[in-house]
Structure 1
Amino acid sequence: MGVMILIVLFVFFYLLIIFEHPLKINKGAVAIFAGAVLWILLPFVTTLTGEFIHEKLFHHLVEIASIIFFLKGAMSIVEIIDSCHGINLITDSITTRTFVNLLWIIAVISFFLSAVLDNLTTSIVMMSFVRKIKLKSTEVKILASIIIIAANAGGAWSPIGDVTTTMLWITGRISSIHTIEMLILPSIVSLLAPLIVLSFRYRHKVIEMDNAFLSNATYSISRRSSAIVLFTGVVSLILVPIIKQITGLPPFVGIFFGFGLTWIVSEIFVGRKQDNTVHIPDALQKVDLSNIYFFIGILLSVAALESAGILKQWATTLSHYLTNMNVFVSILGILSAVIDNVPLVAGTISMYGTATYPIDHSLWTLLAFAAGTGGSLLIIGSAAGVAIMNTAKIDFFWYLKYVTPLALLGYLLGIAFYLLQVQLLS
């Protein structure tokens, strides 16, 4: 009975998170409250001793802190780069007059940008560029949709890209080199499928590209200073998995190194200038704390269920009825378009230990791909989609009709390519 109370409460809070937008209750608030409630109830509704609960809490706290420290550092680096107009150097250099060329350029930049940044930041940056171009409403929607697909696909293969891939990496389920080797091609396939279809559909379309209009922003920072900060930030992010590989230290140590270095460089080349309007500490205040609280709350909630033995029971039941783990993970990816992928991945991590599925097992690698790219199936399925939804004026059913079939095609072909790759390499 006690365990059932925890499950019912978790499902209730989960529903509040899913319906965040119609309810107008921030999912960060719900998640952090849920995490606290489940841990408070644990000694009252289970037979676990206070000492055992205390040990479990602190055991999970170390893992949660590692993830949160990493995310906070990575988000701070991105904010510094953005505040110094480093990302504008990339978007302002795009010039083309054919819609298909623009489609491919935006897709490629979004794909690789999200591998270093994250899909939310990438989608916002690329969408701000698209809005500067004189396009029809439908054309804006198509470009916005390919940004969503490309950003989600790009984050899936990088340990510092999508947050779920980062979670799997930090918790020791996947290694950086193996993940990149095994997922970069399936991720490219998942993007190429919808991209090729759209290219044939719009192959004769010509657009207006006014360079003066695109570059009409005036900045108090020199392009040289922006380029130095951009270069430092990107190199710092790339160094994180290398530092982990060489030293064996947790990834947050590498991200703190990069964060500190980027901050110092930005202060030297931007912060000390008398005639600029950028203040680095102010930029750091823009880091989205509600997302941080959401991650903390979800991870605490899942940890409470794991401590109560609930996730182990679920894992046993699932293994009994669903013996093919590839099918299981593929279904999880589709579910991530409806249900947030963070709790899905966190739950899977807690359900299956490394004793059963060791590091770089196909379960974990495929999960990184499925959770990352599955969110593209619906406009509300990822942070990138939600961020672009209002900006591009894309409604749920338009995306479902015109984009979901293409995203699903890419998702299924990506999984098929991954499984074929595993067979050929085994």
Structure 2
Amino acid sequence: MHEATFHLTTTWVGIIDLAIFVIAYYFIATEEKYEINKAKPALFAGTFMFMLVGVYFATNGMDPEPLHEEMQKLILEIAEIFFFLFVAMTFIETLIERRVFDVLKYKLVSKGYSYKKLFWLTGLLAFFISPVADNLTTALILSTVLFTIDKSNKDFLVPGAINIVVAANAGGAWSPFGDITTLMAWTAGKGEFVDFLYLFVPSVSSWALTGWLLSLYVPKGEPHFNVETEEIPQMKEGGSTVIWLGASTIAIAVLGHQFFHFPAMWGMMFGLSLLKLHSFRLSKGGHDGYDIYVNMKKIENDTLLFFFGILSAVGALHFLGYLDYVHDLYSIVGATAANIGVGFISAIVDNVPVMSAILKASPEMGIDQWLLVTLTAGIGGSLISFGSAAGVGVMGRLRGIYTFGSHIKLAWTVLAGYILAMVLWYIQFEMMGLY
């Protein structure tokens, strides 16, 4: 996000917009109770809040150009996330259609792994894949694997989903590629590439503690599997190529952004073009091809609309000047306490605008503090189900199973890991100076 042009927090539009955001957030958090999809209140709030700002400008005879420019910038930022998600979801739906996940599920379940072993395996994969790819794509893929293993056992799926979200966010925190907040800090010159690697110990320890506590809730036994009756799934033609195309697309997006300064979604859209060409080649070659538009119909559009709505709403609050109050934390409580508080704020609001606001304020901090705020903004989003892109993606993938309510019941396990990360950061960076 960009610096607020006006400070309108005490005007009628500032007060009403804040009230709309709070009410919308309430309905987002209680979607189970009212049976209203989270995208509806988020989209309403995000669009209506800016409309009210426009009314305020018009009725007060103010120049609308700053508002217009801010909304254009916001549209570009949202479009980058929107299209990135769109392509990632299309790849996942294509992998599902090619029965890639059915084959993976069969290989995992046929080995006789218990629920607990599958729980740890998916979490471990999430932690080490997200630094290379990104936390959202990693969480989407592994939550799909989780769901194909056992679609009905909530006692396994809920802690497993939380484990994947926490692992993906923690894994992304120690790599400039793993999370948008780490990428922002890196490109802003707040640390060199190797500096972020020093966050590995607090990151992996945070996930390990939360994973261990969550594993206590994972049921004993193993998924039902009868070798005599279970069908051996066969991957459809071209499935392996789709896997490689997906991995290459992520690599192109990351490398293109890093070395050629393309938006990450540009590389993703290029990967989508390769996927379409692969579909064309299969169909022309007389093989069992796939219709990419049919796969697109199956993506979680509610998740995409939720992101549009919530980022628009946060953008409105930023334009009104509310996120400027985040800066005051540093002068009031000091850098360490403020940076730890950022984790809780990013869980409630969104880590991207919070991190952006801090980078623009650029308080005087050493590399140790910049790495701390990168760590807290990254893993703090796991405290609430929709506090991170990974969490929102998994909520869409496991709709009705992994929800705000189911996450909150076990959120104390995430908080325990968060506290451990802070303690280890202090020991490593402040007491031992290992960075």
TM (normalized to structure 1)? 0.76
| Corresponding residue number in structure 1 for 2:308 | 296
Q: How big is each residue's C-alpha offset from its partner over 1:367-398, in whole Å with a ceiling of 9 and x where there is no partner?
A: 5543553454467763336865854899749x
The 1-side partners of 2:198 and 2:125 are apart by 21
Equivalent in the alignment of 1:25: 36
Kindly report which structure 2 residues correspond to 1:214-363, keeping only aligned pairs within 5 A, or say none: 216=231, 218-219=233-234, 221-222=236-237, 225-269=238-282, 271-272=283-284, 276=288, 278-312=290-324, 314-324=325-335, 326-334=336-344, 339=348, 343-349=349-355, 351-354=357-360, 356=362
Query: Could you tell me which of 402, 409, 419 is aligned with 1:412?
Result: 419
- List runs of 5+ in structure 2 lacking aligned partners: 1-10
Q: Is 1:57 paired with 2:71?
A: yes
Contact persistence 1:389–1:395 (CA under 8 A): no
Residues 23-422 of structure 1 aligned to structure 2 (within 5 Å): 23-45=34-56, 48-94=62-108, 95-97=111-113, 101-112=117-128, 116=133, 117-131=137-151, 143=160, 146-157=163-174, 165=181, 168=184, 177=193, 181-196=197-212, 207=222, 210=225, 212=227, 216=231, 218-219=233-234, 221-222=236-237, 225-269=238-282, 271-272=283-284, 276=288, 278-312=290-324, 314-324=325-335, 326-334=336-344, 339=348, 343-349=349-355, 351-354=357-360, 356=362, 366-367=372-373, 369-377=375-383, 382-383=391-392, 384=394, 388=398, 390-391=400-401, 396=406, 400=409, 403-422=410-429
2:23 equivalent in structure 1: 12
Please say if residues 156 and 373 of structure 1, whose CA atoms lie closer than 8 Å, have aligned partners that are also in contact: yes
Question: Once the 2 structures are TM-superposed, how far is the Cα of residue 233 of structure 1 from its aligned partner?
Answer: 0.8
- Which deviates more, 116-125 or 371-380? 371-380
- Equivalent pairs: percent with the same residue? 25
CA contact (8 A) 1:100 1:202 kept: no
Question: Aligned partners of 1:172 and 1:372: how far apart in 2?
Answer: 16
The whole-number CA distance in structure 1 between the counterparts of 2:44 and 2:189 is 28
Q: Which runs of 5+ in 1 are unaligned?
A: none
Paired with 1:306 and 1:238, the residues of 2 have a C-alpha distance of 32
CA distance in 1, matches of 2:231, 2:357: 53
Which residue type is aligned with residue 351 of structure 1?
A
**Gap change, CA 1:36 and 1:9, over 3 Å in 2:** same
Inter-CA distance 33–195: structure 2 relative to 1 (3 Å threshold): closer
Alpha carbons 2:86, 2:304 under 8 Å: kept: yes
Residues 307-364 of structure 1 deviation map (CA, whole Å, 9 limit, x = unaligned): 333332x23443343323x433433434666x3xxx3324414533436169996667
1:162-221 superposed Cα distances (whole Å, 9 cap, x missing partner): 6x648847996889956863544433222222445677x799x76577473796254571
User: Could you tell me how far 1:278 is from its partner in structure 2?
Assistant: 3.9
Q: Which moved more, 1:362-371 or 1:290-299?
A: 362-371
Compared with structure 1, are the counterparts of its residues 159 and 293 closer, same or farther at alpha carbon in structure 2 (3 Å cutoff)? farther
Aligned residue identity for 2:76: V
CA distance in 2, matches of 1:215, 1:188: 37
Residues 232 and 265 in structure 1, CA contact (< 8 A), matched pair in contact too: no
Alpha-carbon contact 1:110-1:126 (below 8 Å) kept? no
1:304 partner letter: A
Q: CA deviation at 1:226?
A: 1.5
Q: Is contact 1:173–1:359 with CA below 8 Å preserved after alignment?
A: no
Letter in 2 for 1:186: P
Distance 1:244 1:31 in 2: 29
Aligned equivalents of 2:118, 2:211: Cα separation in 1 = 11
User: What CA deviation, in whole Å up to 9, does each residue of 1:114-170 have, x standing for no partner?
Assistant: 5642424422321321459xx8x86666555544543443455566666x6488479
Quick one: structure 1 residues 26 and 176, their matched pair in 2 at CA, closer, same or farther if it must change by over 3 Å?
A: farther
Distance apart, 1:305 and its partner CA: 2.6
Task: Give the AA of the match of 1:229.
Answer: V
Tell me how many residue pairs correspond in the alignment: 409
Aligned counterparts of 1:62 and 1:148: Cα–Cα separation in 2: 27
Q: Secondary structure at the match of 2:360?
A: coil
1 CA distance for matches of 2:402 and 2:48? Answer: 38
* Letter matched to residue 235 of structure 1: S
User: TM-score under structure 2 normalisation?
Assistant: 0.75
Aligned-partner Cα distance in 1 for 2:159–2:69:
51
Label 1:361 to 1:307 Cα distance change in 2 as closer, same or farther (>3 A): farther
Once superposed, what is the RMSD of the aligned Cα atoms? 4.2
Report the 3-state secondary structure (helix = DSSP H, G, I; strand = E; otherwise coil) of the residue aligned with 1:212.
coil
